[in-house]
């Protein structure tokens, strides 16, 4: 990817990416207190000097707002293009 820091503007950039990639997406929000299906969190991947990655935390399966402990988490790294599903079920 030519400009991996170009996910979009601010925290909402992860939401915009989600809605662009999926035709009929589950709902997503970067705000914790909503009825959305997923919580998006933008972060800096290892060895990155900018926020080039997104976590999408499923709010229906053993949800916590922490991607390291929540039941099901999707991770996307815009620098490498890698998508991972992380489960703590």
Mean pLDDT, rounded, for 5-29: 85
Q: Which helix (H) or strand (E) element contains residue 83?
A: strand 83-87
- 1 pLDDT band, cuts 50/70/90, is very low
DSSP secondary structure, 35-53, as one string = --SEEEEEEPPTT-SS--E
- 7 pLDDT band, cuts 50/70/90, is confident
Which has more confidence, 73 or 12? 73
- 45 pLDDT band, cuts 50/70/90, is very high
Mean pLDDT, rounded, for 20-42: 93
What is the model's pTM?
0.80
């Amino acid at each position: 990817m030519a400009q991996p820091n170009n996910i979009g503007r601010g925290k909402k950039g992860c939401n915009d990416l989600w809605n662009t990639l999926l035709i009929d997406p589950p709902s997503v929000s970067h705000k914790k207190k909503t009825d959305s299906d997923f919580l998006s969190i933008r972060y800096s991947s290892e060895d990155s000097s900018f926020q080039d990655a997104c976590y999408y935390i499923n709010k229906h399966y053993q949800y916590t707002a922490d991607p390291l402990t929540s039941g099901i988490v999707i991770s996307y790294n815009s620098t490498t293009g890698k998508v991972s599903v992380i489960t703590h079920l």
